[in-house]
Structure 1
């Protein structure tokens, strides 16, 4: 990935002197001027997600246990507290439908979700982090927090900042510590957890001590929390 300036590409281009081959070189950059400088005819600009795609991604992240499969109460259907399925839904909280075995999204939740997605501008990263927030918090609370700190304009960095601010105190140093590794690096759990413990990030509470729970198990719980909040991706293979 090249962020700029343009001279960065000039210094790399000499490493690829042969042009009449079938090989292709993919360059990624967030700077459109750099892309145009490299090859104005070969630009492939990624598009933001549509409203439908944004909603589908949010559901997958907010309800990871069902991979986004939910029971949505139609705006034309019964309201909250009316009907068999709707009567099982509590405002702002996803409850499992006894008949469907899936989370229920009420009309109010859909409305809140649409308003929150406006802040994300169709960017998958922001939507993913927002989904992680909604997975562990009531939707109404998240909505109020965002409206309290933000104006009517979309502000993706602040959405991401809210996701971090919402992390429990014991998880923040564990997350920040990962900044010492390269971006998108694959790091074995067997390496990460001992590092957290050695740095003093993992502590046992009275309950853990009474039940003699190993500190390694607590560290693993920290990791699971971060994965559930969409801060990390876990590969079990």
Structure 2
């Protein structure tokens, strides 16, 4: 996450548009969507702009009752209104109505974090009242289609960090933001940062490991050569995040995604090569379709890209 990302989101949330507006953040798992949303939620300008700030986490296992309970807990901390102590015994509709009632009037920001489907968005969207007072909803999702569905105009796509920002983040986490780094570690350190593919979560995991080893060239070279093992040893972090995206895939896309593991770590795979592999392996299924196998495979690829599971290096008309 860059300072520019935060500036963009805060500006969108405080624009003069009087109607209720929905701002969306999308990007692959581990890229820092929740961190960006949290920094926006806590930003001083948002404190001045909004009377009430509510944070709810949806996640894959969606339960509307849990979402509304989380919203009510946020509301109870920020208002003088005494919410009934037995609201945890109420059904989902009663909880939803109570949330809607408490949001009518004040200017609010509701952060809906980690939403996975348009159906879930449809089920909760109508609860948030539009009082024509510049209230805002900030939505984070891994699914670009969900973000565009919620609002195609105020959509912010997060990109991986460049090498400069990746290296800076790694240094800040290993040495502290106020301290410099040994010059002899800069070259190998930048190689490590580059291997993290611009993902803040991966950088954080590797930085945590580097903080525990000797600050010597030999130790850091060893980390560079064993990064895959280090990441695999923390399944609750990087692999856990990736696993959520994988399990959310429809069955026909799972073998296509897993096939990416047959390429080397830093390979830039041409589209035609990937499509031919999928066709040869029998991964492409096209019942009741007039499309060719190649066209269906291209649809599969676009779906994986939309789900932020594949990073596009560049697009060409002849790819």
Q: Structure 2 length as normaliser, TM-score?
A: 0.34
| Bigger proportion of residues as helix | 2
| Bigger proportion of residues as strand | 2
